[in-house]
Structure 1
Amino acid sequence: MSEANRKKTLILGVGNLLLKDEGVGIHTIQALEKENLPAHVKLMDGGTGGLHLLAWLEGYEHIIMVDATLDNNPSGTVRVIEPRFATDFPPLMSAHEIGLRDMIEAMVLTDNLPEIHLIVISVANINEVNMELTPVVEKSIPEVIRVIKELI
């Protein structure tokens, strides 16, 4: 497929770097900055998410979000979800879950919903203050990058 025919894609890492594993989405974006990605793919550190990101998401046909989740799976478990509605999110996402859900609902209401893939990484704790990931969650980043490359 030629570059001109590829979907304009945004990879959006969400999280809080100050809260250890809760920042895995941001750590993933930092790792992706060292990768050789196609020109139609852009990276964004979305911080803790929220409706303020809506304007930045305009114009993308495909959005891949990366975030931590408290879902009772073993830490470091990587899953891909295709949310079409806020109810498609895992029951307990990270500290900014409401912002991401609201963002999806707003896109649905404005009939401006691109193709969305949500990559969630299971974590055990989102309240521990530290800027480093736990080893088990850090080891999941190469798998997340592999999944992202398959999706793009």
Structure 2
Amino acid sequence: MKNLVSSLLTLEKEEKILIVGLGNTILKDEGVGVYIAKKLSSLKLPTRVKIVECGTDLLRIMNHYSQQEKVIIIDAVRGGKEPGTIYQFDEEELLNIRAQTRSVHQISVSSSIKLLKKLSSSWSKARVMLIGIEPKIIDYGNDLSPEIKISADRIIRKIHDILQKNNLLV
């Protein structure tokens, strides 16, 4: 989680941060991003840090969260590695993701970000990163696989610790 740590530890004073959980909660591990966002939303955060559960449509947040300077997207990502593997992509990597590492949504996270940045001048300035977790099971069901839950809880703890270290918990 080196990229996450370095990204969040370089927070600018008063920088607006958006953490987005993507996923479909009725398809088991596909809901991991929403699971993480729900857990993080219980934290008491200053108004400049927003947590949002976005479902499967990243584009729907365009107008509601257009002033964020740093955006961290969390989602299930198929990369062909062991279930529970955590991937981290900075913006350049995210915008160049090929088919071998991809989101399981109809429109990819990469395509959504490209579109957001083209359509909105405020989104064009935002720095974006993706944290992905390799899913084990994408089939009907509401619970996460044990390996996926372990990885999700690691991410939650890491984000919590970084926010706390930066005095962003109130």
Give the shorter-chain TM-score range: 0.7 to 0.9
Q: Is the counterpart of residue 116 in structure 1 residue 128 in structure 2?
A: yes
Give yes or no for contact 1:49–1:99 (8 Å, CA) kept in 2: no
Q: Is the counterpart of residue 104 in structure 1 residue 104 in structure 2?
A: no
Instruction: Give the equivalent residue in structure 2 for 1:88.
Output: 97
Between 71-80 and 50-59, the greater mean CA deviation after superposition: 50-59
2: distance between equivalents of 1:82 and 1:20?
26
1: distance between equivalents of 2:98 and 2:52?
20
1:34 to 42, 52, 76: 42
Q: Deviations over 1:11-68 (max 9, x none)?
A: 1000000000000000001111233444421110110024232222310001010000
Give yes or no for contact 1:70–1:124 (8 Å, CA) kept in 2: no
Q: Is the counterpart of residue 43 in structure 1 residue 51 in structure 2?
A: yes
Name the count of aligned residue pairs: 148
| Identity of matched residues, % | 28
User: TM-score, with normalisation over the residues of structure 2?
Assistant: 0.75
2:110 counterpart SS class = helix
Q: Kindly tell me: are residues 58 and 90 of structure 1, through their superposed partners in 2, closer, same or farther at Cα, counting changes over 3 Å?
A: farther
Instruction: Give the equivalent residue in structure 1 for 2:8.
Output: none
Alignment of 1:3-152 (within 5 A): 5-84=13-92, 86-88=95-97, 91-96=100-105, 98-110=107-119, 111=121, 112-126=124-138, 128-149=139-160, 150=162
2: distance between equivalents of 1:9 and 1:97?
26
Q: Deviations over 1:61-99 (max 9, x none)?
A: 010100001111111111211123632367342331624
Give yes or no for contact 2:76–2:133 (8 Å, CA) kept in 1: yes
Letter in 2 for 1:103: S
2: distance between equivalents of 1:102 and 1:29?
22
1: distance between equivalents of 2:109 and 2:125?
13
Give yes or no for contact 1:51–1:99 (8 Å, CA) kept in 2: no
1:117 counterpart SS class = strand
Segments of structure 2 that go 5 or more residues without pairing to the other structure are 1-11
Give yes or no for contact 2:23–2:33 (8 Å, CA) kept in 1: yes
Give yes or no for contact 1:49–1:100 (8 Å, CA) kept in 2: no
2:71 counterpart SS class = strand
Give yes or no for contact 1:50–1:102 (8 Å, CA) kept in 2: no
